[in-house]
């Protein structure tokens, strides 16, 4: 090793760190972004399932829509997730025993805290869940007798 070679390497670590730190921070923010999106999708899917089940238990179409909205909001609140805008679309198909209730949730997830990544401030996450109205709900159908 030449005596002058140590002097030539002085400051190279600082230069390397100056170049690497922003890339590492951006990578970590991207991992956080992906994790937040995955968690949001899971939470919205769970809330949609709970909303669909709540709608199948209701006795009227108006009550089913209210119950699905309340169940979706409660599920998201319990999960610690907030939406800038939450849309609950409940399709009842008559709300008769054996019919299927379908609920679609759309949640605008706030990502403004990840502004360094230049991602949109909000991302729309949607999920749809179906649940069947209990066949024996309110008693047996008229064409069947109970033994």
How many Cβ atoms are within 10 Å of 94's Cβ, its own excluded? 11
Which of the two residues, 40 and 112, has the higher pLDDT score? 40
Residue 140 has pLDDT above 60, yes or no: no
Phi/psi of residue 70, nearest 5 degrees = -65, -40
pLDDT tens for 29-86 read 888 888 888 999 999 999 999 999 999 998 888 899 999 999 999 999 999 998 999 9
Instruction: Tell me how far the alpha carbon of residue 55 is from its chain's centroid.
Output: 19
Contact criterion met (CB below 8 Å) for 52 and 130: yes
For the beta carbon of residue 10, count every other beta carbon within 10 angstroms.
Answer: 8
User: How many angstroms separate the CA atoms of 102 and 99, rounded?
Assistant: 10
Task: Decide if pLDDT at 17 tops 50.
Answer: yes
Compute the mean pLDDT over every residue in the chain, rounded to the nearest whole number: 84
Domain locations in the chain?
12-132
């Amino acid at each position: 090793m030449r005596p002058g070679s140590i002097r030539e390497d002085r400051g190279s670590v600082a230069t390397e760190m100056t170049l690497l730190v922003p890339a590492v921070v951006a990578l970590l923010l991207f991992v956080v972004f992906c994790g937040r999106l995955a968690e949001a999708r899971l939470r919205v899917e769970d809330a949609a399932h709970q909303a669909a089940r709540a709608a199948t238990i209701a006795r009227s179409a108006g009550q089913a829509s209210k119950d699905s909205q309340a169940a979706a909001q409660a599920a998201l609140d319990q999960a610690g997730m907030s939406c800038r805008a939450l849309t609950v679309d409940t399709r009842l198909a008559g709300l008769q025993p054996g019919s299927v209730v379908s609920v679609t949730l759309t949640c605008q997830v706030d990502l403004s805290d990840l502004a360094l990544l230049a991602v949109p401030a909000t991302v729309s996450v949607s999920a749809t869940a179906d649940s069947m109205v209990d066949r024996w709900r309110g008693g047996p159908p008229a064409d069947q007798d109970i033994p």
